[in-house]
Every structure is written in C-alpha cells, then in structure tokens.
Amino acid sequence: MSDPHTADLFAPPAGEPQVLAPGAVLLPGAALDDAPALLAAIRDILARAPLRQMVTRGGFKMSVAMSNCGALGWISDRRGYRYAPLDPERDAPWPAMPPVLQALATTSATRAGFAGFVPDACLINRYAPGARMALHQDRDEADFDQPIVSLSLGLPAVFLFGGFERGDRPTRIPLGHGDVLVWGGPARLRFHGVLPVKDGTHPATGACRLNLTFRKAG
Ligand code: SIN
Ligand code: FE2
C-alpha cells in the first residue's frame, strides 16, 4: 500500500511504460506501492553498511554517498572503479539483497523487455541537495547483455540520458519518487548522469534522493 499523502499529493499515478530509445524504458511510478517496504529494506542495509563518500582514482571525493547490497558492491578508490565482494570499510561482505529489492528489479526488467534478469549487485546512491553525477557509461560489469535497472525514491532529479559519445547532447528525463528506469540491449552503453539535486524535502526520504541501480556485475 502506498502512503495516500505521498501518492495523491506529491507523485503522479503509475503510468504506462515510456520507451525513451531502443532498449531504454521508463516505468513511471512502478515502485510507488512497494516504496514503504523498499525504504524499510534500504534503511536496514544502511544501518549495517553505512553510506560513505568514495574517492575517484584522481582523488576527488564524490558528491553522492554510496553503499551496496548483494554479492558484489561497486566501489571506487585511488586504484579506480570495480566490483568487490567485501565492503572495504568493514572488511565484511555487503548485506544480502533483500527479496523485495530483487523482485522489483526482476519485475521491472521483464516489463522493459529483459526477462530473466537476476541482479547480483545493488548500488545505493544518496544525493543530498547539490549532489550530482557526471556523465559516464556503466562498463565495470562482466556482461553487457544484462540491463541496468534504476529505482528513484524521494526528491526528484533530472536524469541526463546521453548517446554513445561523451559529447552527445543528453535528453533530460525528470525522475521522481517511485519511478524505475531500465536501459539495456542497444541502450546499455549510453552515457548518463544526474543534474545537481535541488533543495527540498520529501515525505518518504527527507532532504535527499535515493537511487538504487541493480546490475548483474559478475
Ligand atoms: C548511476 O548512474 O549510477 C546513477 C543514476 C541515478 O542516480 O539516477
Ligand atoms: Fe551509471
């Protein structure tokens, strides 16, 4: 059940899938009904594997705070980007991926045309107001035949959906609470990023946007 205040006042109703480009499908509001359960599961993960701002190979601290669940977690440090089975902060495995998260990823991928998607990695991104993500490709995964499933919760953001060259002008896709975006197949290696999140508070998350990206990394 969705919180009636959240559903009626702040979020559009769940809508029809929108094909943004071949292989890229927006599922508006696909996670609205499950949002309270998803957020409870996320809070439990973050209590065990706290959010942290990682540094890039170049030594810059990322504005987005991150954690992971699943068999593999995405990390960045002075050695570069990679997937790792252990959380380097705790020298312990990442928390397991809760069934409610895995089910959302698999169902969303199927709705977008990618049946049989079973993620082994879920990166949790927390954007405080002002946090952003520069244009990049997701290419640290073993198999580019597997899609990316991206869940947005809390404050809205503008997703930049680019082309296959860094310089290609991106399309601006507004993403709000409960939206799920899937890109795979011919869209798998498109550049993408997120504009700085605007100040605000959301009834479900407070003053932040949460983004979860599900991947088959290994
Ligand atoms: C990412 O590309 O990992 C994050 C995308 C998003 O925050 O919507
Ligand atoms: Fe990405």
Residue 8 has pLDDT above 90, yes or no: no
- Separation of CA 92 and ligand 1 centre (Å): 25
Give domain limits for the chain.
16-215
- Closest approach atom of ligand 1 to CA 123: 3
CA of 113 to the centre of ligand 2 (A): 20
The CA-based dihedral angle spanning residues 71, 77, 80, 85, taken in that order and rounded to the nearest 10 degrees: -10
Residue 39 token pair? 């957020």
- Pairwise CA distance, residues 35 & 204, whole Å: 8
Evaluate: CB of 74 within 6 angstroms of ligand 1. no
pTM of the model: 0.93
Phi-psi region of 132 (alpha: psi -120 to 50; beta: other; left: phi over 0): beta
Nearest ligand 1 atom to alpha carbon 181: 8
Quick: pLDDT tens for 158-188: 999 999 999 999 999 999 999 999 999 999 9
Ligand positioned closest to the Cα atom of 140: 2
Q: Give the mutation target among 124, 138, 140, 150 for probing the ligand 1 site: most ligand atoms within 8 A of CB.
A: 150
Nearest CA to ligand 1 atom 2: 193
Distance 105 CA to ligand 2 centre (A): 16
Phi-psi region of 190 (alpha: psi -120 to 50; beta: other; left: phi over 0): beta
* Separation between Cα atoms, residue 95 and residue 90, nearest integer Å: 11
pLDDT at 139 over 50: yes
> SS3 string of 83-127?
EECEECCCCEECCCCCHHHHHHHHHHHHHCCCCCCCCCEEEEEEE
What are the distances in angstroms from CA 201 to CA 55, 105, 165?
27, 26, 35
Question: Cβ(108) to ligand 1 under 6 A?
Answer: no
- The string of pLDDT tens digits covering residues 37-51 is 999 999 999 999 999
Cα distance between residue 10 and residue 13, in whole Å: 10
Residue with tokens 């071949």: 22
What CATH topology corresponds to 16-215?
A: Jelly Rolls (2.60.120)
